[in-house]
Chains A and B, each alone.
Chain A
Amino acid sequence: MPSLTLTHLRYQFLEQLRVPIALVASAFFPAAAMLAFVVPFTGADPASATSATAGMMLFGAMSSALIGLSVSVAQDRERPWDPYLRTLPAGPLPRFAGRILTTMAGMLLSVVPVLLISAFLTAAAISPPRLVLGIGALLLGSVPFMLMGLFIGYAVSSKAAIAVSQVAYFPIAALGGLLMPLEVMPGFVQSLAPFVPSRGAIELMWAAVAGRTPSPVSVVAFTAWIIVAGAAATWAYRRDEGRRFS
């Protein structure tokens, strides 16, 4: 890893660690959802408990990526420190990479409670290689949401970022079948589901943890979302010159 990326990673990680409440919050929701939805309904069946756990891990990762990243990017842009950083001799890449890696580290922390609840309170079962594969799929699956988070963070103010990212978060998670199985959802949700990015992401995770074959439509849509969100994030970054100081 280039040393400057490492420098930015270290700096952003330190900042995050010193305000641990943000990490606690991002770990809390998926764990609470796990207790509310997964444990009572799918606890007894190993296969459905495993896939539901994967869904909750993705649910937590989406929160870190979409809400956490967009709000922290937007807040940073509003502090005078951000334009100062732009005067340092570095392009945007070390900062972008540092941010994404820090967010990924936060995600890995936030899945720990979900995994513990799953292991002790449900019948979910997984082999160590599949667990590693599943975590890899989780990181890959979170990429479009991180790019969306960057886009929102660079496009709007921090107050707007909180609202926009939360409004986007729940419907995308629900439409992808992360909270409830798609089979119990209304017909229009089932026909919409393959096209939302969370569906492709969760099917990749299921492929990793349970060897299920993902639907091609979902995977193509997932890839398209990465391209669109990546282009949007880049556009918003270029357009941003920080806040205007006369």
Chain B
Amino acid sequence: MTVLARGIEVTRRYGDVLALDRVSLDIRAGELVGLLGPNGAGKSTLINLLVGLRRPTSGTVELFGGPPADPVARRGIGVTPQETGLPESLRVGEIVDFVSAHFPERYGTAELLARFGLGDLARRQVGGLSGGQRRRLAVALAFAGRPRLVFLDEPTTGLDVEARRTLWEGIRSFHDDGGTVVLTSHYLEEIEALAQRVVVIGRGRVLADGTVRAMRDVVGVRRVSFAAPAVPDLPGILRSSVEDGRVHLLTTDSDLLVAELVRAGTAFADLEVRPTSLEEAFITITSEEDARA
């Protein structure tokens, strides 16, 4: 498959702070990649390098085979601005026209706005938009130049559930038409719903890279839950919680845990063993990294 964006042994420092540490990553045509990581992990730095905003301290970054600093390489990408920075005094239609003018291929302003449910707001000044409308405008701008590759940074933060689902549909249909997507999100549910490939970044390094399913399996974490008043003292518990009278335990060895549970003679009912969610996998991967550091 064609590689659209690539980092090879990329390191980026801000003074003494090491934001990215020898990261290598390929984004291939047609992928829908979720970038996952705690704040300050290096996600934004990685995206900034890929879209040409910053240069690596060492290593190589390529966009469509060229340096991202070259404007020609950037014709094939779309990026979401932070909606807090949209120019207040301009009208919605004017901003879309302005951004579109940079690209050789583009959607008509009316068509793009209609796609993102902003059709009747073209004449409205940005200063008069609601938070959700600004967010949708910001995401729409990423698609203005008919990109082959879009970088969506927190695309649905601040949107209500319905608007979020609508936006997800839009992202899926772009992907179904052959578009490539790199997505970051605070909502693991969002990554789980959209992404095929998940890249976990922590402390400036790629901690894990694989499909959503593989990510759960690699971690090998199971969730063991049962009805009991309190968390019993058992070996191999990664994390525990009690909700509505049910104890939830995360473990890498559910067989051993259940055997120990029975042996301990604790009273329990409704035993359930399930594969973990992406969120649980993510927490495990990053906390293992913390423990090692």
Contact = CB atoms under 8 A, between A and B. Distances in A.
Interface stretch (B75-83, B186-194, B223-231): B75-83
A215 interface: no
B86 A81 contact: yes
Contact of A90 (B14, B48, B84, B102): B102
A19 B89 contact: yes
B45 interface: yes
Size range of the chain A interface in the assembly: 20 to 34
Nearest to B75: A89
Interface string B156-176: 000000000000000000000
Interface stretch (B49-57, B210-218, B272-280, B284-292): B49-57
Given A79-B85, A83-B53, A246-B19, A14 B102 contact: no
B283 interface: no
Interface string B239-253: 000000000000000
A80 B53 contact: no
A4 B77 CA distance: 18
B87 A7 contact: no
B90 A88 contact: no
Contacts of A80: 81-82, 84-85
A4 B99 CA distance: 10
B85 A87 contact: no
Contacts of B48: 83, 245
Nearest to B144: A88
A241 B9 CA distance: 21
A242 B55 CA distance: 12
Contact of A15 (B55, B72, B75, B90): B90
Interface in A73-94: 79-84, 86-91
Contacts of A88: 71, 74, 99, 102
Q: Which of B48, B55, B77 has the most CB of A within 10 A?
A: B48
Contacts of A237: none
A86 B53 CA distance: 6
A81 B73 CA distance: 20
Contacts of B90: 11, 14-15, 18
B89 A87 contact: no
B85 A4 contact: no
B21 interface: no
B204 to A, nearest CB: 10
Nearest to A8: B98
B98 A87 contact: no
A3 interface: yes
15 contacts: A4-B102, A11-B90, A14-B89, A15-B90, A80-B85, A83-B48, A84-B82, A87-B51, A89-B75, A89-B102, A91-B71, A241-B53, A245-B44, A246-B19, A246-B42
Interface of B: 14, 19, 39-40, 42, 44-45, 48, 51-55, 71-75, 77, 79, 81-82, 84-87, 89-90, 94, 98-99, 101-103, 125, 145
Given A4-B101, A7-B101, A11-B90, 19 more contacts: A3-B101, A7-B102, A10-B98, A14-B94, A15-B90, A19-B89, A80-B81, A80-B82, A81-B85, A81-B87, A83-B53, A87-B52, A89-B72, A89-B73, A89-B102, A89-B145, A91-B71, A245-B48, A246-B14
